[in-house]
Structures are given as C-alpha cells and as structure tokens.
Amino acid sequence: MMNFGDQLRDELDQIEAAGLTKRERLLTSPQGAHIMTIQGPALNFCANNYLGLANHPDVVAAAHRGLDAMGFGTASVRFICGTHAEHRELEKEIADVVGMEDAILFPSAFDANGALFEVLLTDEDAVISDSLNHASIIDGVRLSKAKRFRYENRNMEELEQRLQDAQGSRRILIVTDGVFSMDGYFAPLEQITALAEQYGAVVAVDDSHATGLIGPCGAGTPARAGLTDRVDIITGTLGKALGGASGGFVASTAEVVALLKQRGRPYLFSNAVAPSLVAGARTALRIAREGDDLRERLAENAEHFRARMTEAGFDLLPGSHPIVAVMFPGEDGARQASAIAEDMLKLGVYVIAFSYPVVPTGRARIRVQLSAAHSTADVDACVDAFIASRDRVAG
C-alpha cells in the first residue's frame, strides 16, 4: 500500500496529467490596471477590481487610520469582545446602500453563504438553487438539512417545476447569484421574484459581482431591476468592487440579521473583520456609492471592449457586465483558449482561460474583466493582444 505522501503525490500527478493544475502567479506590485509580476510587467484583465479601489489612495489612507486608531487585530470573535463601534457603522452603511433593513459582517462572502442556509432552514424546509451558483452557496446549502432542489442556469420553467415539487415545505428559499461569474449574465430577477410570490418562496441573491458596480449607487442587481422590495436577502463581498480586501455580508430584515447573530457559525466562531479592513471598506463603500463617474467609466470600457472584439471577429457571450466571456467553442477550444491566454501574457496582457470542469465541455473561454482603472488605451492594448495572439497561435 502507498504511504500518505505517495498517495497525495499520485493525486497531484493525476491533476497535472489532466491539465488542471492551477499555478500562482507572483505579483510584486499592488493590484491595479498595471501590475508587476516576477516575470515582468502586465496589463491586468483578470481582477475583480471593478472600480479600481483595491489600491485607491483614500482607501489605503482610511485603512491606515483604522490601523492607527484601533490596532491590528480584534483578538476576538464579534460576540465576545470583537465588535468595534465601526463594525456596526459599516453594517448599517452596507444595509443602507443595498436597501435592506440591516446587515451582518462575516470574515468573507464564502462564510456569509456558509452561515445563511443552516440558520434559516431545517429539514421541514426547501432550498432551490441555480445550477451555476457559486461554490460557497453550494457548500452553504450542504450544511443545512433542507430538502435541496436545483434548476438549470436561469431556466424559469425548471424553477417553476422545482417550486411545485417543493410545495408543502414550511419555508421555500430560492437562491441565485445576481451575476454569473463565468458568463457575465444577470439572473432573471423579474421572473424569479414573480415566481417566488406566486409560490410563497423567499429570494436570496448573492451579489458579489454586483455590489458597488451595478445598479443606482452600486446597490446591486435587485436595485438595477427595481426589485429591491421583492428580494428578501442579499449576500455580498468586500473582496471585489468594494476595495477587494476581505469580508462578506448578509443584508436583510432585522430578524434575519438578528438570527444570524445568534446562530451563524462563521459569525460565532471566526474572528471579526480587522479594523484596518473595516475602515478601508467604509471608505470604499462611500466612494462606490458616490461613484457614478467610476461606474460610467467601467461601462464605457466594457462597451468599448465588447464592440472592438466583436468587430475583430471574436465570439463573445452577449451582455453589458464588465465580465466578458470570449468563447472558444468546440473540441479544440480548450487548447486554443489556453494557448492564446499564454501568448497574450508574453505581450504583457494578463487574462485567464477557463475550460472543463470549470465551464461545460466544449465551452472553453477566456474571461476578461474590465475595470474603471483601465484607460481606453489599456482596453485597446488588450484587444490588440487578442488579435495578435490569435494570429500567432493559429499561424
């Protein structure tokens, strides 16, 4: 029998043989449109730095102030002695921006989703989940004892079927990503909330790729659709548009938040978000809230990129979100996408190729993420690199 180390080596070899090994690229500069890696400089098109706040001077200065005023760490979970006045301030400000009664912070959005379902649902209840929901939703749902139903991504006939299947449950919760991160597609909230009303379900939206950048004041996908009142729960992250450090939240009614503070395990048993991050996130949230100019810049960049890429003959998934999937369909697609992404890096443009099992077989793609920090020249350089690498890889 193989020993422990050999067993793991064997597993790693299988991952490598399947071409699935993920490798870290080491950065030696802060996050931004222009970054430095140990291999050299690059234009970055794969960060969740939608508003360019990850290294914004005001956010950095606020984090310094938080550090100086409140120290490095809380050395406690929230409910023992780890809640600073500023945690509550940030929670109220998040709730206010997304249009909910209250909010609760977690160490991450992964933990927010880890807490939510177990607290709200028992074996008398049902949860209905979109098939492309984020891994943290899938894991969070697994932690609850609720009956589980799944519908194909954005398929509203299937959602209705599942709602019928779930009838008789004490509670029915529909959960969806607000934006699907591999496609840049929005969840059809209009139809989801209408079905929820018809079948007596509550709706939770994970707006991690939307808070700060989508909707009026960056309030997210429910606000974009004018449906804030029809959505019961919004989860989100401080790790993307809102400064990109770490922290997550659940925003909802006072009762949902109160119950999460009694029973949410990542809230009860994991450390409070550090003071510097809380102070930085408050400033990032304020900049985002007032950041119509940033959202406009971001939308222009996405539009310009989509227009030029389409003109150059690339196959894009349609939409308006700054996540843009450049498709390389078919049998050879995975190889093409990864060869082009690799070649683009040699031209100083950093993008990432995704293939099976992250996306369905035959649906390989390069996912590009635009930022308000990109200049038009940066976006043009990205498109030019796509064209050059396509020619070089084909030729």
Ligand X SMILES: *Cc1c(COP(=O)(O)O)cnc(C)c1O
Instruction: Catalog residues that contact ligand X under the rule CB under 6 A.
Output: 108-110, 134, 136, 177, 181, 206, 208-209, 237, 239, 248
Shortest distance (Å) from residue 32 CB to ligand X:
19
240 is in an annotated binding site: yes
How far is it, in rounded angstroms, from Cα 114 to Cα 136? 7
Q: Which residue in 108, 136, 144, 181 is the catalytic one? A: 181
Question: What is the CA angle 226-230-234, rounded to 5?
Answer: 90
- Output Rg (C-alpha) for the chain, integer angstroms: 22
Q: Which two tokens stand for residue 306?
A: 């989509």
A 10 A CB-CB count for 14 gives 10
In whole angstroms, the minimum distance from the beta carbon of 112 to ligand X comes to: 7
Nearest to 317 by CA among 306, 333, 308, 301: 306
Dihedral angle of Cα 75, 79, 83, 87, to the nearest 10 degrees: 120
209 annotated to bind ligand: yes
- Pick the catalytic residue from 240, 252, 276, 374: 240
| 270 annotated ligand-binding residue | yes
3-class SS string, 321-387? CCEEEEEEECCCHHHHHHHHHHHHHHCCEECEEECCCCCCCCEEEEEEECCCCCCHHHHHHHHHHHH
Report in angstroms how near the CB of residue 165 gets to ligand X at its nearest.
25
On the 0-12 / 13-18 / 19+ scale of CB atoms within 10 A, 353 is buried
271 is an annotated ligand-binding site residue: yes
Burial zone of 50 (CB within 10 Å; 0-12 exposed, 13-18 middle, 19+ buried): buried
Identify the residue whose tokens are 């379900």.
201
Axis crossing angle, helix 254-263 with helix 109-120, rounded to the nearest 10: 100
Determine whether the annotation assigns residue 371 to a binding site. Answer: no
CB nearer to ligand X: pick between 136 and 301: 136
Which residue type is seen at 173?
L
Whether 147 is a known active-site residue: answer: no
Judged by beta carbon, residue 48 or residue 336, the one nearer ligand X is 48
Least distance to ligand X from the beta carbon of 160, Å?
A: 24
239 marked as binding residue: yes
The residue among 106 and 328 lying less far from ligand X, judged by its C-beta, is 106
Is 209 a known active-site residue? yes
Residue 206 assigned as binding residue = yes
Minimum gap (Å) between residue 77 Cβ and ligand X: 18
Closest CA to 49 of 338, 284, 355: 284
Flag whether 374 is marked binding: no
Residue 238 annotated as binding site: yes
Smaller CB separation from ligand X, 248 or 333: 248
Rounded to whole angstroms, the Cα distance separating 277 from 279 reads 5
Residue 223 CB, nearest approach to ligand X (Å): 17
Contact 307, 314 (CB under 8 A): no
Q: In terms of CB distance, is 208 or 389 closer to ligand X?
A: 208
Tell the smallest beta-carbon distance from residue 369 to ligand X (Å). 11
Question: Would you say 221 or 237 has its CB closer to ligand X?
Answer: 237
Q: Tokens 């227009």 label which residue?
A: 307
Question: Can you tell me the distance from the alpha carbon of 183 to that of 169, in angstroms, rounded to the nearest whole number?
Answer: 32
Token digits for 381? 């350089």
- Residue from 56, 84, 87, 209 carrying the catalytic annotation: 209
Between 105 and 345, CB nearer to ligand X: 105
Annotated binding site for substrate: 134, 367
Annotated binding site for pyridoxal 5'-phosphate: 181, 206-209, 237-240, 270-271
List the catalytic residues. 181, 209, 240
Annotated binding site: 134, 181, 206-209, 237-240, 270-271, 367
